Amino acid sequence: MCGIFGYTGFRRLGPIILEGLKRLEYRGYDSAGVAFISSGLQVMKDAGKIDEISRKFNFSGIDGKLAISHTRWATHGAVTQTNAHPHISCNGRIAVVHNGIIENYIDLKRELISLGHKFRSETDTEVIPHLIEEFYRKTGDPLKAIFMAVSKLDGSFAFLAIFEDHPDRIFAVRYKSPLVIGLGDGENFVASDVPAFLKYTKKVIFLDDMEVAVISRDSVEVFNSLTREKVDKEIYIVPWSVEDAERGGYPHFMMKEIMEQRFTITRVLGQDDRIREASQLIKDAQKVFLVAAGTSYHACLASSYWFAEIAGVNARAVLASEFPSISKLVDDKSLVIAVSQSGETADVLESVRMAKKRGSKILGIVNVVGSSLMRISDAFLTINAGPEICVLATKSYTSQLAILYLLVNDLVGRLENAKEEIKRAETLVAHMLESEALLKDIRRIAKDLSASEHIFLIGRGISYATSLEGALKIKEVSYIHAEGFAGGELKHGTLALIEEGTPCIAIVPEDETKDQTLGNAMEIKARGGYIIGLSNEEHVVFDELIRTPSETSLSPIVMIIPLQLLAYYLALERGCNVDQPRNLAKSVTVL
Ligand code: F6R
């Protein structure tokens, strides 16, 4: 949901800003802009892709002392040049870029208009520079003005502000939306996410809610905006390499990240102590909730079957956005296991805050070390998958499954066995991804299916979660309507949608669900459906077979691989933007 990036230091401003923006493009890509100070405050912004806008204004040629920039995923106000960030104060001497939503902006706008402020855009963000201007006029002190402005804002925000009068400082504020400062030597960075500056520094400070940082090229000071006191911040070293955030010869991050699963799955190993601490939390709890959104929710759903079957634990998977409606069930004997790649998803963080208020303990499972979820959890596990840049979650999904599998097995004293199974699953994934024949087959099937209006996926038991995740991948990247179903549910209504040639993917691992799923595939075929089987062997019901290994215990990890590939090739066949599907953003930091 929007990316913000700021820089102050010795490098040429234009290229570094452009690079930072490009690396955050996955967070939003409908408009972009930059504000910088070079003989006065200047703003360049427009609707469109970063490359187009950069060409139009020659971003690379920008020079000056410091700059703030923005790539937008619109929430309030259409995608237009006027609504693009940065937004400026009436006198044009203060500029702001913002990620999040100012919920009380209508009231604030009315108040500011009555004080004589003139608004240019339809955005919620524009109230921020006007508010700061108002308080700056009164106090003459930029930091005080920011503190006062922040105290008026409701909602979620991470914003950067610069003042023409103070051309050596970037002011950075965070409340419920992510913001991280990169510490350099004679230069400093601030961004919504680490990859924006990973090439230059791995030393970072994560801002906490209601903190304000004053960033100049040689110093970073952080204040609590409520007490206005200075805060000592911990410096984290990010464990990612620069190459992790590069495409590395692949045409798209999606393919790179799918391929990385040949070695990322076992990167969950090596956290035995933390796993033991986490299992103790589960053992101490009377109720366990697995809370997440999107793909991470599908990992939770799959693991709820493992919790039940392997450990006899009733762990309920709940969509984070629905959590408020069942939050009354949560109490001080509960454990919420919150799973999030980014650790910044607003629905997940809100659920966690709600659960904490009710006395529940929180176990966070994240990819991004230092993320908000990790920091507000009582205990955490990381999946260590490296930065996931493509908007679609792929490698984080298999790693989430792997860590949840270790956790469940630790509950019954099988951690060591589970580790071996994870290693084996990764080998099987690697074999699939290295099989040119398999890739060719899937590409051919994608070509055949590329004109389909609908694709249905069925799976039973734990493969139901795989069917949902496979459908999500197909939908979000190829824009084909795809739906996953529990195989047994079709006859309760959806069978009515099956016509001659309707494609249906049957997920058939070698487990106890096999015969019944095949039976459901028969029912579909009898009504004209075209059946693509994911299975380790041919079956009369299949019109096509995508051959998968006969893995049973970790079938969700193994079976999702061909579906990720199918989604990728469908998108290519249909000429879709693979890494940046329309209307989406990687981290959904608004409720
Ligand atoms: C799908 C996808 C989203 C995310 C969801 C949660 O490919 O990427 O559905 O899984 O927005 O994000 P995290 O895991 O960062 O909380």
Which one is catalytic: 2, 300, 504, 576? 2
Torsion, Cα of 586, 80, 118, 168 (10° steps): 50
Q: Quote the ligand 1 centre to 46 CA distance (angstroms).
A: 28
How open is the CA angle 29-146-75, to the nearest 5 degrees? 25
Helices (H), 312-435: 323-326, 346-357, 372-376, 395-411, 415-434
* Amino acid sitting at position 534: L
pLDDT reported for residue 204: 96
Q: CA-to-CA distance for 404 and 275, rounded, in angstroms? A: 10
Q: Is 61 helix (H, G, I), strand (E, B) or coil?
A: helix
pLDDT at 413: 98
- Per the CB < 8 A criterion, the answer to whether 188 and 216 are in contact is yes
Contacts of 525 (CB under 8 A, 6+ apart): 531, 541, 543
Could you give the angle at the alpha carbon of 303 between the alpha carbons of 300 and 306, nearest 5°? Answer: 160
Token pair, residue 43, equals: 């703003």
Q: Which atom of ligand 1 is nearest to the CA of 293?
A: 6
Compute the distance between CA of residue 14 and CA of residue 8 in angstroms, rounded to an integer. 11
State how far the Cα of 168 lies from the Cα of 76, in Å rounded to an integer: 31
Q: Which is nearest to 64 in space by CA: 217, 174, 173?
A: 217
The strand ranges marked E within 305-377 are: 315-319, 334-340, 361-366
Q: Is 390 a catalytic residue?
A: no
Q: Which residues of the chain have pLDDT under 50?
A: none
Please calculate the CA angle 370-374-377 and round it to the nearest 5 degrees.
Answer: 150
User: What are the backbone dihedrals phi and psi of residue 96, each rounded to the nearest 5 degrees, phi first?
Assistant: -135, 140
Nearest-atom index, ligand 1, CA of 391: 8
Q: Please give the model's pTM, rounded to 2 decimal places.
A: 0.85
Q: First-to-last CA distance in the chain?
A: 11
The residue nearest atom 11 of ligand 1, judged by CA position, is 294
CA-342 nearest atom, ligand 1: 15
* pLDDT for the residue numbered 584: 66
**Tokens for 331?**
């109490």
For residue 482, give the 3-state DSSP assignment. strand
CA of 413 relative to ligand 1 center, distance in Å: 31
340 lines ligand 1 (CB under 6 A): yes
User: What is the spatial distance between Cα 384 and Cα 261, in angstroms, rounded to a whole number?
Assistant: 12
Query: β-pairing, 379-382 with 530-535?
Result: unpaired
Question: Nearest C-alpha to atom 5 of ligand 1 is from which residue?
Answer: 294
Using CA atoms, how far apart are residues 462 and 486, in angstroms rounded to an integer? 9
Whose alpha carbon is nearest atom 3 of ligand 1?
A: 294
CA distance 481 to 356: 38
Tokens matching residue 275: 């796993």
Q: Quick check: CB of 589 below 6 Å from ligand 1? A: no
| β-strands 180-183, 530-535 pairing | unpaired
pLDDT at 338: 98
Distance 293 CA to ligand 1 centre (A): 6
Binding site membership of 385 for ligand 1 (Cβ less than 6 Å): no
Q: Is 296 in the pocket of ligand 1 (CB under 6 A)?
A: yes
Residue type, 479: Y
Q: Where on the phi/psi map is residue 387: left (φ > 0), alpha (ψ -120 to 50), or beta?
A: beta
Q: Cβ contacts of residue 341 below 8 Å, gap of 6+?
A: 295, 296, 366, 367, 368, 383, 385, 388, 393, 396, 400
Please, what is the Cα angle at 67 between 586 and 28, to 5 degrees?
15
Cβ of 192 less than 6 Å from ligand 1: no
Q: What are the tens digits of pLDDT across the range 471-525?
A: 999 999 999 999 999 999 988 988 888 999 999 999 999 999 999 999 999 999 9
Take atom 9 of ligand 1 and give the residue whose Cα is closest. 294
CB-ligand 1 contact for 553 (6 Å cutoff)? no
pLDDT tens digits along 55-72: 999 999 999 889 999 998
Question: Could you confirm whether 56 is annotated as catalytic?
Answer: no
Contact 348 CB / ligand 1 (< 6 Å) = yes
| 348 Cα–ligand 1 center, Å | 10
Does the C-beta of 463 come closer than 6 Å to ligand 1? no
Nearest atom of ligand 1 to the alpha carbon of 294 = 9
Write the CB contacts of 333 (distance below 8 Å, at least 6 apart in sequence).
Answer: 285, 286, 287
Q: Is 352 in the pocket of ligand 1 (CB under 6 A)?
A: no
Q: How far apart are CA 408 and CA 311, in angstroms?
A: 6
Taking residue 167's Cβ as centre, other Cβ atoms within 10 Å add up to 17
Q: Quote the pLDDT of residue 519.
A: 96
Please choose, from the candidates 150, 4, 171, the residue with its C-alpha nearest in 3D space to the C-alpha of residue 72.
Answer: 4
Cis peptide before 129 (omega within 30 of 0): no
